[in-house]
Amino acid sequence: MIRLYLIGITVLITAILATLFAEKIQCKTWYDFLNGPSSSYNYWSVLKFKDMLWLFIAYPLLLGFGSFVGNLIYQKLFL
């Protein structure tokens, strides 16, 4: 149970940092992506290639890396 908690905390921290980074590089976040169609009729034309690259490739990879780091922290502390 502690392992899952540590992994969850590191994924959460990674997600927060990744969202801040996305705003810094002016990419859409998941919040923008999910709320976009309700705010604009032609929202899909507003999305750029870098937004899609960020949302569907880079962001999941970063979260997976956060999970990996959380597991490493658990292994170093408890094994």
pLDDT for the residue 23? 95
What does the block give as tokens for 63? 């979260």
pLDDT for the residue 56? 95
Q: What is the mean pLDDT of each run of 10 residues along the chain (79 residues)?
A: 96 97 94 80 82 96 98 95
pLDDT for the residue 22? 96
Sequence-separated (6 or more) residues with CB below 8 Å from residue 71: 3, 6, 7
pLDDT for the residue 43? 73
**Phi and psi based region of residue 64 (left: phi greater than 0; alpha: psi -120 to 50; beta: remaining):** alpha
Query: Is residue 55 a contact partner of residue 30, using CB atoms and an 8 Å limit?
Result: yes
pLDDT for the residue 34? 84
